[in-house]
């Protein structure tokens, strides 16, 4: 199945969800999103890093430098308590919107 573009507004929520599982560097976040989506969603570098920067600015994650499993110097991101709260809000909104869209698709 070919990769598809990330739905608008979903990337930050998916990054937060991945970070809920632990500390990851940017490439590992992208790989995790791709893997968990069954190789359907692609978190492209041009979108991923600006989203991570916004997440840091909002205080939803912290970052620290470290060394990846391949020996490269990378930033590791970790979810904050504010990030966990934001994830909960975004998931609730997403689930409501998805249910409403599904109702329209079934009933229209």
User: Where are the chain's structural domains?
Assistant: 4-107
Q: Is the pLDDT of residue 18 over 90?
A: yes
Per DSSP bridges, beta strands 24-25 and 73-79 are: antiparallel
How far apart CA 35 and CA 37 sit, in angstroms, is 5
Burial class for 48, CB neighbours closer than 10 Å (0-12, 13-18, 19+): buried
What is this structure's pTM? 0.90
Model pLDDT for residues 43-83, shown as the tens digit of each residue = 888 999 999 999 999 999 999 999 998 999 999 999 999 99
Q: Any idea which residue has 């940017």 for tokens?
A: 26
Identify the three-state secondary structure at position 25.
strand
Structure confidence at residue 5 as a pLDDT band (50, 70, 90):
confident
Q: Is the pLDDT of residue 1 over 70?
A: no
- Structurally, at CATH architecture level, domain 4-107 sits in Orthogonal Bundle (1.10)
Structure confidence at residue 9 as a pLDDT band (50, 70, 90):
confident
User: Which pLDDT score, from 0 to 100, does residue 3 have?
Assistant: 75
């Amino acid at each position: 199945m070919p990769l598809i573009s990330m739905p608008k507004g979903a990337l930050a929520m998916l990054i937060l969800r991945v970070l809920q599982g632990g500390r990851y560097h940017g490439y590992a976040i992208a790989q995790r999103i791709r893997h968990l989506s069954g190789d359907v969603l692609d978190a492209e570098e041009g979108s991923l890093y600006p989203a991570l920067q916004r997440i840091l600015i909002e205080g939803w994650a912290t970052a620290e430098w470290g060394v990846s499993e391949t020996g490269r110097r990378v930033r590791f991101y970790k979810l904050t308590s504010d990030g966990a709260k934001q994830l909960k809000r975004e998931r609730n909104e997403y689930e409501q919107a998805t249910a409403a869209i599904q109702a329209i698709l079934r009933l229209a």
